[in-house]
Amino acid sequence: MRVKKNKGLAAIEMLFVLPILLFLLGGIVELGRIFIHYTVLNKALQNSARSAVSETYGTERLSAIAADDYIQEFVVYGGQLGTDRTTILPGLKEDDISIDTSDTNYVKISANYKYSPIFTSIPIIGGDFEITMNASSLMRTTQ
pLDDT in tens, 111-121: 999 998 887 76
pLDDT of residue 46: 94
Domain assignment present for 47: yes
Range of the domain at 81: 9-140
Residue 54 has a pLDDT of 81
Residue 2, in any domain of the structure: no
Following CA atoms 107, 50, 52, 80 in sequence, which dihedral angle do they give, to the nearest 10 degrees? -140
The CB density around residue 66, as the number of other CB atoms within 10 Å, is: 19
Task: Report if pTM > 0.85.
Answer: no
pLDDT given at position 80: 75
CB proximity list for 64: less than 8 A, separation 6 or greater? 56, 141
4 belongs to a structural domain: no
Is position 40 within any domain? yes
**In this structure, is residue 101 part of a structural domain?**
yes
pLDDT of 56: 64
In the 8-state DSSP scheme, what is residue 94? G
Overall domain count for the chain:
1
- The reported pLDDT for the residue numbered 76 is 92
Q: What percent of the chain has pLDDT over 90?
A: 41
Low-confidence ranges of the chain (pLDDT < 70): 1-4, 55-63, 82, 121-127, 143
Q: Is residue 3 part of a domain?
A: no
Single-letter residue type at 57: Y
Residue 17 lies in a domain: yes
